[in-house]
A = this chain, B = another copy of it.
Amino acid sequence: MNFGDRVAEAVERKQSCLCVGLDPRIDLLPPEVITGLHPGASGRARAYERFCGGVIDAVAEDAVAVKPQVAFFEALGGVGISALERVCAHARDAGLLVIVDAKRGDIASTAEAYAEAWLHRRDGAPPVGDAITLNAYMGGDSLTPFLATCGDGAGLFILTRTSNPGGADVQEAELGGGELVWERMALLVARWGQEHVGESGLSAVGAVVGATQPDAVARARDLMPHAILLLPGIGAQGGRPDVLHAATATHPAGGLIAPSRSVIYAWRDRGGDWRQGIRTAAAELRRSALAV
């Protein structure tokens, strides 16, 4: 099934556009998750696995997807990546789509290896993720092995205008004719995704657009009519859920809001049980996004 259709189905069924970022940070975890673990990378990996497992169970009803951030696991080396693989399996078992936030980008056999790492394991094991974030600075041929996985139901989210202020350095450089670099990227994304539009009208090739850039979200909607817009930067970075309004203007599953810290660490401000705090924050955000 086409990834665009998979998202459309999940959004319709759950009445939710929520994708929860899994960004485990050792300094921020609930004490009970850390207690009794060995110091060092393997203990931290175990803590990340426990915490993300709790987050997944807490948001499974209100979210359609989770977005694990590879970097936090990668910081722990091999044991961290092994923990991430188990976290992703847990999320898929819980009925959530897994969007691996890896921002990978490379060419030829190297790109193939990255696709294998996250979207189609060679040894017949289930894929770790349903979709991946990619950086396409290296151009169209860097996407070929990833696009090939779209036929098996995988999804891609290409960075266009990112949520950070420094994103402007390259992305907002102005091309001859007044087009910005990220707009050129968006047009390329639209072109790359054209062959992968599902029955829903949504493509398996989506785009990352920072929710901190509401004007860019509206413009991205115009430039990439079939792309699902993945919108990080909600909450802690200052983006607001109402960017969904522009993103979903043409299709109710045309945008996924992707908060991380404001959901998974909600209990730090609210007090009480951490799982309950996460569940409540996810439910509130789902509802406020619906009301947009």
**Which of A's residues lie within 8 Å of B, judged by CB?**
23, 25, 39-41, 69, 71-72, 74-85, 103-111, 113-114, 116-117, 121-123, 128, 135-142, 159, 162-171, 173-178, 181, 184-185, 188
> Which residues of chain B are within 8 angstroms of A188 by Cβ–Cβ distance?
169-170
**Set B83, B123, B139, B176: member contacting A174, Cβ < 8 A:** B176
Copy number in the complex reads 2
Flag if B85 contacts A171 (CB, 8 Å): no
Give Cα distance in the complex from A163 to B164, angstroms. 28
Residue of B nearest to A69 (CB): B110
Known: A82-B79, A164-B142, A188-B169. A71 touches B111 (CB 8 A): yes
Q: Enumerate chain B residues within 8 angstroms of A75, measured Cβ to Cβ.
A: 113-114, 116-117, 122
Indicate if the CB atoms of A139 and B166 lie closer than 8 Å: yes
A-B interface, 7 closest residue pairs, ranked by CB to CB distance from nearest: A78-B82, A139-B166, A141-B166, A139-B169, A71-B113, A78-B81, A75-B113
**Given known A74-B114, A81-B77, A113-B74, contact A136–B170 (CB-CB < 8 A):** yes
Interface contact B163-A185, CB-CB below 8 Å: no
Q: Is the CB of B72 within 8 A of A113?
A: yes
How distant is the Cα of A269 from the Cα of B162 in the complex, in angstroms? Answer: 46
Q: Determine the distance from Cα of A171 to Cα of B173 in the docked complex, in whole angstroms.
A: 12
Question: With the chains together, A116 CA to B25 CA distance in Å?
Answer: 13
Task: Say how far A23's CB is from chain B's closest CB, in angstroms.
Answer: 7
Residues on the B chain within 8 Å of A128, using CB: 77
- The answer to whether B174 and A109 touch across the interface, beta carbons within 8 angstroms, is no
